[in-house]
Amino acid sequence: MQATPHLLMLSLLVQLLAAAGCGAQERIVATYHERPPYLSPGADGAPTGLTGSPATQAFRQAGVSVTWMVVPTNRQLAMVKDGQQQSCAIGWFRNPERERFARFTKPIYRDKEWVLLANATYIIPDGATLEQLLQNPATRIVVKDNFSYGQEIDTMIARGKPQIAVTAGSVEQMLLSIGAGAADFMFVSEEEGQYLLSRSNGRGASLRLLRPRGMPRGVERHIMCGKAVPDGVIERLNKAITFR
């Protein structure tokens, strides 16, 4: 049967709309910072590691076009908060404050138990809990600017009385501070703590891992995206994420 002019026009319109939809699909800017064992740059710029590899795999399996960028954490937050930018950041904790400006995928990884990476001379009193340590005004901790350590630890810090040094510096700089005795400890996951001590470049004697009573279990990590990222992208990523 010969196609009518009406059917030909309709077919052409459908093709044009499909082409326009493909052309309108914008690339997602996905950011991360170098933080092994979680995140390390791969040969193609995509991250590898405990959170990097599953995030990279999710974007690929979902068929989402992505431009990878290595940027500091505060810059990652600013990009996600930008309501005009389609940006995602890899491996972030989910909490109520961040939910005000971001949306989150399903978890891509869950940390092992929290531990303290401490100066070797720091001693925990027998039977002391983490909350008791943080209630002591003599306790000195170093925390990363704009980081969350999970709801339980964040709450203990807010209610406690420790001396808090807030830094935008690298993990390496935080280790130097603790090793030099400028702070008593920092919070790390079991896997990150073991990794850092194994690569402490001779500083291992000044550092150790401690596990006081009442340490919370590890927290789930997500891909955190700005509100400008379309719902469809989040849905495709969630379908591609294999972590259970």
Domains (ranges, CATH) in the chain? 26-110+220-240 (3.40.190.10), 114-210 (3.40.190.10)
Please tell me the distance from the alpha carbon of residue 148 to that of residue 99, in angstroms, as a whole number: 13
Over residues 184-234, the pLDDT tens digits come to 999 999 999 999 999 877 666 799 999 999 999 999 999 999 999 999 999
Instruction: State the chain's mean pLDDT as an integer.
Output: 90
**pLDDT at position 2 over 50:** no
3-state secondary structure string across 126-156: CCCEHHHHHHCCCCEEEEECCCCCCHHHHHH
Over residues 38-90, the pLDDT tens digits come to 999 999 999 999 999 999 999 999 999 999 999 999 999 999 999 899 999 99
pTM reported for the whole predicted model:
0.85
**pLDDT at position 124 over 90:** yes
User: Which of 4, 160, 229 is CA-nearest to residue 149?
Assistant: 160
Please tell me the distance from the alpha carbon of residue 161 to that of residue 133, in angstroms, as a whole number: 9
* Residue 25: per-residue pLDDT: 59
Is residue 39 a contact partner of residue 91, using CB atoms and an 8 Å limit? yes
**pLDDT at position 26 over 80:** no
Percentage of residues in the chain with pLDDT exceeding 90? 84
